[in-house]
């Protein structure tokens, strides 16, 4: 495959960025998208140019680091992570636009790499439980209804890639935050911080400068792990419950 790549290049957070055009040839349809970028970078290094900076780690769809907007879609045309997107999703001769996440809360560090530490601070605000240390408890010591366990596991699948923010026209982080709130709040182990968790995490989310949610649903459509849109509704219920309870104290 021969492809034309239009790649966002930006030296640092303070510099202005622009799209640069490159040609790559002999790309196998079985390559992953990141392997194709590796080929581009080898080509740039051999020609004495600076390689394109992009984020990656596990390359197995687990860590969520491979955050790219490809032809206007978060992670590209398939509902998967960028590292699991293969070049057979494109055609010979295609022109592909490659950009970083676009959100004020995700400032560009260099080229395609953005700073997603805002997500870390949201988790730090309340994404934990108070549990005694020591030996692991008996697995059946705390019964959990299957419906609750399934709900918790569904939301725990969130890998924090930020596709929900990149896809949202408002740059909202509600799907991410709701996934982190819901998967702990529904379990008995998360009960002690149930109210403070949702209040603190939503407050931190707002402080990071993410946009407001208008339930357009683009976040759930782009999520590679399939976190459902109803997750936001569940978190809103938790937030209202916690707000009312705090107001009665």
Calculate the alpha carbon distances from 9 to 19, 55, 117 in Å.
6, 14, 21
| Helix-, strand-, coil-residue percentages of the chain, each rounded to 5 | 40, 15, 45
Query: Tens digit of pLDDT for each residue in 34-74?
Result: 999 999 999 999 999 999 999 999 999 999 999 999 999 99
Residue 102, Cβ density class (10 Å: 0-12 exposed, 13-18 middle, ≥19 buried): middle
Instruction: Name the fold adopted by 116-131+138-247.
Output: Fumarate Reductase Iron-sulfur Protein; Chain B, domain 2 (1.10.1060)
Residue 23, Cβ density class (10 Å: 0-12 exposed, 13-18 middle, ≥19 buried): exposed
pLDDT at 133 over 90: no
- Above pLDDT 70, what percent of the chain? 99
In the predicted model, what is the mean pLDDT of residues 148-175? 96
Sorted by where each begins, the domain ranges of the chain are 3-110, 116-131+138-247
Residue with tokens 């509600």: 174
Contact in structure between 208 and 173 (CB atoms under 8 Å): yes
Average pLDDT across the chain, whole number:
94
Q: Quote the longest CA-to-CA distance of the chain.
A: 68
Query: Tens digit of pLDDT for each residue in 181-234?
Result: 999 999 998 999 999 999 999 999 999 999 999 999 999 999 999 999 999 999
Calculate the alpha carbon distances from 75 to 6, 15, 48, 61, 99 in Å.
16, 25, 29, 11, 10
Q: Alpha-carbon distance 227 to 225, whole Å?
A: 6
State the pLDDT at residue 183: 94
Query: Tens digit of pLDDT for each residue in 114-127?
Result: 999 999 999 999 99
pTM of the model: 0.92
Choices 1.10.10.10, 3.10.20.30, 2.60.40.1180, 3.30.70.260: CATH for 3-110: 3.10.20.30
State the pLDDT at residue 25: 96
Buried-exposed string 164-196: b where 16+ CB fall within 10 A, e elsewhere: bbbbbebbbbbbbbbbbbbbbbbbeebeebbbe
Residue 6, Cβ density class (10 Å: 0-12 exposed, 13-18 middle, ≥19 buried): middle
């Amino acid at each position: 495959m021969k492809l034309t790549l239009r790649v966002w290049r930006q030296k640092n957070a303070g510099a202005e960025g622009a799209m640069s055009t490159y040609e790559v040839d002999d790309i196998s349809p079985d390559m992953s998208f990141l392997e194709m970028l590796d080929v581009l970078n080898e080509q740039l290094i051999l020609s004495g140019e600076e390689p394109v900076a992009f984020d990656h780690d596990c390359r197995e769809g687990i860590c969520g680091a491979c955050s790219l907007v490809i032809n206007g879609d978060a992670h590209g045309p398939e509902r998967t992570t960028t590292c699991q997107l293969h070049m057979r999703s494109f055609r010979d001769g295609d022109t592909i636009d490659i950009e970083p996440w676009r959100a004020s809360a995700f400032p560009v560090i260099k080229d395609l790499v953005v700073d997603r530490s805002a997500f870390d601070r949201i988790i730090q605000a309340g994404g934990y439980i108070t549990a005694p240390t020591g030996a692991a408890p008996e697995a059946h010591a705390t019964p959990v209804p299957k419906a609750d366990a399934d709900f918790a596991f569904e939301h725990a699948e969130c890998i924090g890639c930020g596709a929900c923010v990149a896809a949202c026209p408002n740059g909202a982080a509600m799907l991410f935050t709701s996934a982190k709130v819901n998967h702990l709040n529904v379990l008995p182990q998360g009960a002690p911080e149930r109210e403070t968790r949702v209040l603190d995490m939503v407050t931190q989310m707002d402080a990071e400068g993410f946009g407001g949610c208008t339930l357009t649903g683009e976040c759930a459509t782009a999520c590679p792990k399939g976190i459902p849109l109803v997750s936001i509704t569940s978190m809103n219920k938790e937030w209202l419950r916690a707000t009312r309870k705090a107001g009665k104290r």
